[in-house]
Amino acid sequence: MEQRVHKRTTQQLQVVYQVVCQSCSHPTADDVYLWARRILLRISLGTVYHNLQRLVDEGKIGVLSFGDRIARYDPTTVDHAHLVCRHCGLVQDVVLDPRVLGAGLKFLTRSGYTIFSHSFVAYGLCPACEKGCSGTLQTV
């Protein structure tokens, strides 16, 4: 009996992790819940939250928010930047040249700051929305 409960818990954790890894747009807990339910019909939103937190605590996934206070989960745990589309909400990973980033950070550490972590977010329009927007602008 104990073992069966354990097996189910492990399976739920794996499904939550798998959903975050397979999603390419930094899903919210609600997104993860919707996808996880397609695999495990009886999983609850509470279980999804619990497992997401556990994965964050274990350093397997990252958590971030882009000014809207909604937590988004990120399977990429190495330092990287993000571009957020203001129109459709798409979140794109951006790899910044570490030399460029390092030069900026070195300036701060030389001034006596200690840096624990950093995040860089650019806001704009994704190519699809950019096309859509310029199309509308032209017709006006």
Q: Which residues bind Zn ion (CB under 5 A)?
A: 74, 76, 85, 87-88, 90, 93, 126, 129
Nearer to Zn ion, 16 or 74 (CB): 74
Q: Which is nearer to Zn ion, 51 or 74 (CB)?
A: 74
Residue closer to Zn ion by CB (options 11, 133) is 133
Could you tell me the smallest distance in angstroms from the CB atom of residue 80 to Zn ion? 6
Considering the complex, state which of residue 45 and residue 83 has its C-beta at the smaller distance from Zn ion. Answer: 83
Kindly report the three-state secondary structure assignment for every residue of the chain.
Answer: CHHHHHHHHHHHHHHHHHHHHHCCCCCEHHHHHHHHHHHCCCCCHHHHHHHHHHHHHCCCCEEECCCCCCCEEECCCCCCEEEEECCCCCEEEECCCHHHHHHHHHHHHHCCCCCCCCCCEEEECCHHHHHHHHHHHHHC
Shortest distance (Å) from residue 64 CB to Zn ion: 7
Q: Which is nearer to Zn ion, 96 or 103 (CB)?
A: 96
| Nearby residues of 122 by Cβ (< 8 Å), 6 or more positions away | 81, 82, 83, 84, 94
Q: Give least dist CB 125 to Zn ion, A.
A: 6
User: How far apart are CB 9 and Zn ion at their closest, in Å?
Assistant: 27
Q: How far is the CB of 111 from Zn ion (least distance, A)?
A: 28
Q: Are 64 and 20 in contact (CB under 8 A)?
A: no
